Amino acid sequence: MAWEFSTDPEFQEQLDWVAEFCREEVEPLELVFPYAVRMRRRDPKMAALVDPLQGRIKERGLWAVFLDRELGGPGFGQLKLALLNEILGRYGSAPALFGCQAPDTGNMEILAAYGTDEQKERWLIPLMNQEIWSAYSMTEPQGGSDPDLFVTTAVRDGEEWVINGEKWFTSAGRHADIILVMCTNGIFVVPRGTPGVEILDQPRLHDHIVYTDVRVPLDHLLGPEDGAKVLAQRRLGGGRIHHAMRAIAQCRRAFDMMCERALSRQSHGKLIADHQMVQEAVADSYAEINMLRLLVLWTAWTIDNSSTAESRTQIAACKFTAAKVLREVAYRAIHVFGSLGVTDLTPLQALWAGAPAMSVMDGVDEVHKVTVARNVLKGYQPHDGHWPTDYLPAMRQRARAKFADAFTADPELRQYADAMERRAGRSH
């Protein structure tokens, strides 16, 4: 039986390199030039800063770490990716520098899985090389992320599809070169500049887009017609576990800040670390972060040894647990920081604000809790009669049958068992 929590030395060396690289190179870059990676295509000064760093990443074999080898990635699998994301998730621009940024990762995955050779050549390879950017347009104002309530449709007209509908929360839509639009009858690749694509002014980060008579060629359908739900589940399953991986890093950042602050400030004549309520915050956060981490690593291991589809229950549990732990740990850290914690002079406000977003993106937490409950309950059966299986009087009666021969051979043993049963009855 193999059961351990170690990382092989060769990959640990990679993790150590990534940690140092992010601390020494990525963090300074994002503090001074926070949008450098996305600006590099049109700004030679940004390219001069970003390209050498990405060159070093590629030399280490760490580019596009989420992809299999045949698609240009290292083929690490989900478990190693989880260990990497525990580092990358601490820095906002690290995923983009390493070629594994959302929402492009999910879009690349379904292009790789369902795209034709021509579609891969046209869109997947440029996405992998960050020559273009993408967005995923799924959620709708009237139906949220419930595909059964979607109304955006694509109707065939000769050699084109005509798309009409309205999408809400299309993250980074205004900055994308292509948008994968989920319609009632399929997922379609729509270049952002296509006539009829209207990106509204608000919200700025998660865009509200109206599609009015948007025409795209027939070969812009991704996968089979009427296959939108299947493709979406393939895409979102991987995205959810990746969000959870990065959430661990965000929780740890808030936790590190909390602990440092607790040892640095005094209140009522002693370090705040010596106050029991602060100690409770540290202890609860420590336990919750490590429970989340083990859940995520177990889920990643399960995906590697089965599939995303077969790990659906675990992925759903990771999704809502990550949001909950991030919310709780970030709030405790803010509280320990006091007035400084409620300003934007530390990362804490952004970390806390990320928790509600995590709770609603890729499906609200309540939906995933329903998924977990339904799938878990499939493994159980109702009990017969009035009493549960663990009803102690009935359990004792069944257990006594095991000793029937011994009671016959030794009446005193029966008397002893009867006495124990009477004692147990009085205790209830």
Give the CATH number for residue 46: 1.10.540.10
Q: Among the listed ranges 66-70, 122-126, 389-393, which one has the minimum average pLDDT value?
A: 66-70
Examine residue 72 and state whether it is found in any structural domain, yes or no: yes
Residue 84 has pLDDT above 60, yes or no: yes
Q: Tell me the average pLDDT of the chain.
A: 93
pLDDT, tens digit (0-9, with 9 covering 90-100), for 93-125: 999 999 999 889 889 988 988 999 999 999 999
Q: Do residues 49 and 141 share a domain?
A: no
Examine residue 121 and state whether it is found in any structural domain, yes or no: no
Percent of the chain with pLDDT over 70: 98
Give the CATH number for residue 236: 1.20.140.10
Examine residue 386 and state whether it is found in any structural domain, yes or no: no
Of 201, 222, 243, the one marking the end of a domain is 222
Exposed/middle/buried for residue 196 (C-beta within 10 Å: 0-12, 13-18, 19+) = middle
Which of 344, 357, 337 is closest to 254 using CA atoms? 337
Which pTM does this prediction carry? 0.90
Q: Do residues 48 and 96 share a domain?
A: yes
Owning domain of residue 413: 392-427
Q: How far apart are CA 60 and CA 62, in angstroms?
A: 5
Q: Do residues 327 and 259 share a domain?
A: yes
Give the CATH number for residue 187: 2.40.110.10
H or E element, residue 270: strand 270-271
Q: Do residues 369 and 243 share a domain?
A: yes
Q: Do residues 104 and 237 share a domain?
A: no
Q: Do residues 137 and 241 share a domain?
A: no
Cα separation values, 229 from 184, 319, 417, Å? 9, 19, 60
Q: How far apart are CA 77 and CA 91, in angstroms?
A: 22
Examine residue 120 and state whether it is found in any structural domain, yes or no: no
Examine residue 2 and state whether it is found in any structural domain, yes or no: no
Q: Do residues 260 and 338 share a domain?
A: yes
Examine residue 246 and state whether it is found in any structural domain, yes or no: yes
Examine residue 45 and state whether it is found in any structural domain, yes or no: yes
Q: What is the mean pLDDT of residues 22-40?
A: 96
249: helix, coil or strand? Answer: helix
Q: Do residues 218 and 235 share a domain?
A: no
Buried b (16+ CB within 10 A) or exposed e, 259-273: bebbeeeeeeeeebb
Q: How far apart are CA 208 and CA 403, in angstroms?
A: 71
Q: Do residues 274 and 373 share a domain?
A: yes
Of 222, 243, 264, the one marking the end of a domain is 222
Examine residue 4 and state whether it is found in any structural domain, yes or no: no
| CB-CB contact of 62 with 98 (8 Å) | yes
- Contact partners, residue 358, CB within 8 Å, separation at least 6: 243, 247, 322, 323, 326
The count of structural domains within the chain is: 4
Residue 178 has pLDDT above 60, yes or no: yes
Residue 184: how many CB atoms within 10 A of its CB?
A: 15
Residue 295's pLDDT is what? 97
Q: Do residues 332 and 310 share a domain?
A: yes
Q: Do residues 363 and 264 share a domain?
A: yes
Q: Do residues 209 and 295 share a domain?
A: no
Of 115, 149, 171, the one marking the end of a domain is 115
